[in-house]
Amino acid sequence: MEKIFGSQNSSQDSGDHWLTVSDLMAGLMVVFLFIAIVFMMITQKENDKIKDVAVAYQQNQVAIYEALESEFEKDLDKWGATIDKETLAFNFQSPDVLFANNETRLSDAYKEILNDFFPRYINVLAPFRDSLDEIRIEGHTSSVGLRGSTEAQAYFYNMRLSQGRTRSVLEYGYALMPNESDWIKANIAAVGFSSSRLIKENGVEDAARSRRVSFRAITNADIQIKRILEAQ
């Protein structure tokens, strides 16, 4: 009978076996829970790092804007310039003063402005160099091209024009500060955007305001965040 139904001790052994499996499962659940907690802590730590970078970026952005505003507030109107708080773009918005029509050569009036502006601009940004990715001289045009040109022809004509103008600005600024030549070569870029970033009013292109040259300070917060994500 014991061979068929098993003994009482056999039943007891089976109970002990299931008790052991239950203990094992409970132990595994504790281990998985511990792993989950550790993972959540690591994720939270990385999120805190990114948040700290974002906060520091915002504070640095404000500090740069305030430094530029303090230095140039008395000059903006006479230069026809503005400072964009969100993009840190210093915009010269009087193209007729900067260049002759369809020309890349600097006007005498713009040379006088750059003589005053460029060294002061570089010096104002000097305390923030560790947080800068680059300074970009940006050339912008309206969508208007030469008479009779197609939209594509106008775009690429204005591309050459905007690129030529920013190169002229960079070359002139470079000559003004020979002691900063190495830093300028490594950190200032001249870029022409043609008519790709038009200024519009109620959906309609403002041709005069679209023609501009901008000095834009670009911070490296996105690079720092990318490094944090790559290190995970």
Specify the pLDDT at position 190. 96
* In a domain? residue 200: yes
Q: Is the pLDDT of residue 203 over 50?
A: yes
83 with 175, same domain?
yes
74 with 178, same domain?
yes
* In a domain? residue 167: yes
Q: How many residues does the chain have?
A: 232
Specify the pLDDT at position 4. 44
Specify the pLDDT at position 124. 97
**Residues 87-104: pLDDT tens digits?**
999 999 876 788 888 889
At a CB cut-off of 8 Å and minimum separation 6, what does 155 contact?
Answer: 143, 145, 194, 195, 196
Q: Which residue has the higher pLDDT, 85 or 38?
A: 85
User: Please, where are the H alpha helices in the chain?
Assistant: 2-5, 8-72, 76-79, 95-98, 108-125, 151-176, 181-187, 207-210, 221-230
36 with 114, same domain?
no
35 with 90, same domain?
no
Confidence of residue 210 (pLDDT cuts 50, 70, 90): confident
* In a domain? residue 54: no
Q: Which residue has the higher pLDDT, 82 or 228?
A: 82
Confidence of residue 166 (pLDDT cuts 50, 70, 90): very high
Total structural domains within the chain = 2
Specify the pLDDT at position 209. 86
116 with 38, same domain?
no
* In a domain? residue 55: no
Q: Is the pLDDT of residue 170 over 60?
A: yes
* In a domain? residue 91: yes
144 with 223, same domain?
yes
What is the span of the domain harbouring residue 29?
Answer: 2-49
- SS3 category, 183: helix
* In a domain? residue 60: no
Confidence of residue 5 (pLDDT cuts 50, 70, 90): very low
Residues 104 and 118: their CA atoms lie apart, in Å, by: 18
69 with 42, same domain?
no
CATH number at residue 133: 3.30.1330.60
* In a domain? residue 57: no
139 with 224, same domain?
yes
* In a domain? residue 56: no
Question: What is the average pLDDT across 27-50?
Answer: 66
* pTM score over 0.75: no
139 with 40, same domain?
no
Residues 88 and 121: their CA atoms lie apart, in Å, by: 12
120 with 11, same domain?
no
Question: What is the average pLDDT across 141-161?
Answer: 91
**Choice among 68-82, 148-162, 197-211 with the minimum mean pLDDT:** 197-211
170 with 201, same domain?
yes
**Residues 49-87: pLDDT tens digits?**
656 656 667 788 889 999 999 999 999 999 999 999 989
29 with 106, same domain?
no
